[in-house]
Structure 1
Amino acid sequence: MGLLPENKKKVSKETPRNFVIFGETMNGKTYFSEEFPNPLNLNTDGNAEMIETPSINISHQRNSKGEITKSASELISDIIDELQGTKHTFETIVIDTIDDIITLFEQEITEEHNVKSVGDIGWGKGHSMIEMMVRVFIMRLKELSMKKKVNIIYISRSITIEENDVSRQVPSLKMKWMNIVNGNSDYTILCRKVGKNYIRKVESKRKNYTRDKVDDETIRSLLDTVIGAYDKSKKTSVKDAKAIVEQQEKQQEAEQKVKQKEREQAEQAEKDEKNDEPNNDEKEQPKKDTPKRRPPRPLTK
């Protein structure tokens, strides 16, 4: 059928097309995304008209009663259809922000089913629906990047977490959704502002990219501004790997002991509280009024 490739090695091309860019507000995320070639910004915060980049406001269209007449998911689907099926000059699609896009999906589902959260829809159907919407959205963009060589950028805000008394920033997107987005991306990049300096640093990447194999000159030059973009992952010896695993197991064991102790303390506190309460038999019964005894009559002769 002619589906099999020729059995010989070929020169690989490894230009990354899918990026997650995250960071705090005013730390250079949008500025970085605008440096990519010919961007189209799908904006969720309502200020599409305030930026110079060609952009579209992503939101639900509502009637006078506040009911959704055209959902954000329908609008996004129409935009992707047009990007796939018509001639255009856009080379980069910026999702600003992916956090808000997923919130819009959740809002659409809850309003359609007249519930407060997707978890209120029985038999886990709400969670299945939102997950399917997110996966289809990501896969359609991935298909766009593969067929049309369009760059896809997912912008997320950030939160600060504490690990072993060390603070670090991570995407504010929930881990469940981050795993889906990150699993279909090539780089995850943190943007930070330190003083007057804007810093871009790789947090994770799909593979060890080699600069001379990135055949898009613009992408190559942009990655030159990112710390760790072409760094090779360090190989871990078996001895070091065992030590890391043992340390993680000890940490997990310690955390489990702490949680078990907290559970035992909570159970004991609940028992003590119940023991302090008087039983029904021991509860004071209302006092009954006893009739007063008349004094004895004097004896008469």
Structure 2
Amino acid sequence: MGLLPENKRKPPMDTPRTFFIWGATMSGKSYLAERFPNPFFINTDDNAEKAGLPNFQLKNVMNRDGSIKSSVIDQIDELMLELQTANKGFETVVIDTIEDTVDLIEQAIITENKVQTLGDMGYGKGFALQKQIVTGMILTLRALPLNVVFVSRLDDSSLDGQGNTIERPALKTKWYNIVNGNSDITIRTRRIGHNYSRAMTDKRKDYVRDQITDQKILHILDNVPGVFPRTAKTTNK
């Protein structure tokens, strides 16, 4: 017993905790992710390692016979458990990149089941298993008392009817809908020449600056145009 809270309102807690950052290569995605407090990177490349940041490199490790020695699915399960029970002072978890993580999960399922594609498993079993693992990881991350940052590259291969590049994340739409649906703020990074910029492209709600209690997060958001509504201009009169 004792699960019900007191029947009274509490002051709103308006600090966003889950973020989706996307943009072209070298546009400042990982740099922005590094600005979050005490980040731990779950990496699919060696960028965090090169930068000297605390990280774990996701990789399906194979035996000589082609079977999996260490699966990213098991690695993710172990990482989630350690973050829940043995966190070493990290305040932010960064998944860089989320599309590579999804692909590595698919590779692990295919290899463990000795098939060529997920469709070869029949009756949608492979696709359902991949969705279950990816969704489980996202929901577990959201439940942690930590900031979560998903990083995605820019998909520069999609064209519209006029041959113009459609600017969108490299994360496939079905996964983007899940990740973005569990994110508080989506941020686009750009690089034009030597200049870098950031902009909010989606958000769960209109955030009130004075209600954000984490000053480190507030400092980051103050440098992302679009997060806070513009203050209406008034005259002296």
* Whole-angstrom CA distance in 2 between matches of 1:151 and 1:104: 23
Can you list the C-alpha shifts for 1:134-186, whole angstroms capped at 9, x where unaligned? 11111111111xxx2x1111000112455686755211101100111111110
5+ unaligned residues in a row in structure 1: which ranges?
233-301
Alignment partner of 1:157: what SS? strand
Corresponding residue SS for 2:94: strand
Tell me, yes or no, if the aligned pair for 2:67 and 2:112 is still in contact at 8 Å: no
> What residue in structure 2 maps to residue 140 of structure 1?
140
Rg bigger for which structure? 1
Larger RCO of the pair (alpha carbons < 8 Å, separation 6+): 2
Give the structure 1 partner of residue 147 of structure 2: 151
Which residue is equivalent to 2:233?
none
Q: Deviations over 1:50-89 (max 9, x none)?
A: 1221111110122233321110111111111111101411
Contact residue 36 and residue 219 of structure 1 kept, 8 A = yes
2:182 aligned residue: 184
Q: How does 1:187-202 map to 2 (within 5 A)?
A: 187-202=185-200
- Structure-to-structure mapping, 1:226-245, within 5 angstroms: 226-231=224-229
- The count of aligned residue pairs is 228
Could you say if the C-alpha distance between residues 38 and 99 of structure 1 is closer, same or farther in structure 2, counting changes exceeding 3 Å? same
8 A Cα contact 1:115 1:121, kept in partner: yes
Cα distance change on mapping 1:162 and 1:62 into 2, 3 Å: closer
CA deviations over 1:208-255 (Å, ceiling 9, x no partner) = 1111111000000100110101128xxxxxxxxxxxxxxxxxxxxxxx
1:7 CA drift (Å)? 2.7
SS at match of 1:123: coil
**Runs of at least 5 residues in structure 2 that lack an aligned partner in the other structure:** 231-237
Q: Structure 2 vs 1, CA of residues 171 and 217 (structure 1 numbering), >3 Å: closer, same or farther?
A: same
- SS of 2:124's equivalent in the other structure is helix
> 1:133 Cα deviation (Å)?
0.8
Are the aligned partners of 1:21 and 1:153 in contact in 2 as well (CA < 8 Å)?
Answer: yes
> Contact 2:42–2:96 at 8 Å: present in 1 too?
yes
What is the identity, as a one-letter code, of the residue corresponding to 1:171?
P
Q: Which has the higher helix share?
A: 1
Normalised to the residue count of structure 2, the TM-score between the two structures is 0.90
Q: In structure 1, what is the equivalent of residue 57 of structure 2?
A: 57
Deviations 1:29-69 (A, max 9, x none): 00000011111111112444312211111101222333211
Q: TM-score, normalised by structure 1?
A: 0.72
Counterpart in the other structure of 1:109: 109
* Secondary structure of the corresponding residue to residue 6 of structure 1: coil
Identity of aligned residues (%): 44
Aligned-CA RMSD value: 1.8
Give the match for residue 235 of structure 2: none
